[in-house]
Amino acid sequence: MTSPQPTFTPETLEQQLLQEDALLRGHFRLSSGLHSDTYVQCARFLCRPDLAAPAAAELARLIQEAGLQPDVVVGPAMGGVVIGYELARQLGVPGIFTERDDAGQMTLRRGFTVEPGQKIVIAEDVVTTGKSTKEVARVLEGLGAKVLAVASLIDRTGAQAELSFPNFALLPVTAATYAPDDCPLCRSGIPVVKPGSRPEKAFS
């Protein structure tokens, strides 16, 4: 008799993120310009197919357990591309992505499209404020599609995103954020690190 497969838990994901340096604790400057004691870089986790696949499978299980069956999974570039593809594979549906145009507006490009009435799950690596999720939802709903839910590895919203659809996440992460001129980490003399992918001019 074979042993049952271990259940995927938030603790499992947290340990994997820490081991891959995808979840960092310290003093960081975020892309918004705010400072934080926590930084998440899921690309370090998602570059490992052996880790990404079980995580996406658990998200797929949560979605199906809720009685939802999307026609398409849509992830915003860049963070939603890999997890969106893997989630789509687990659900057996196409996976596409949105990206920003030259004017900075979220849109579908590369010949991607959705049809009126199609049911969509938005995939994100991290939902931080819900802003990009809402942008993607507006694009899809503007084309007549119906957004069923957002699914992510990490939810940093603290239940404050005020989304109009369910938010499935494998791991809630509480992170303190501070204005640069009122940052206790700065006052403590802890050096600030900017670990993200955006260039320095993004903070000017």
Residues marked as binding for orotate? 128, 156
Q: How far is the CA of 174 from the CAs of 40, 77, 177, 187, 204, in angstroms?
A: 11, 24, 10, 21, 27
8 A C-beta contact, residue 151 and residue 169 = yes
8 A C-beta contact, residue 90 and residue 113 = no
- Which residue positions form the known binding site? 100, 124-132, 156
Neighbouring residues of 149: CB distance < 8 A, sequence distance ≥ 6? 63, 66, 68, 121, 122, 165, 166, 167, 168
| Residue 193 DSSP code | B
- Which residue positions form the known binding site for 5-phospho-alpha-D-ribose 1-diphosphate? 100, 124-132
Amino acid code (one letter) for 34:
L
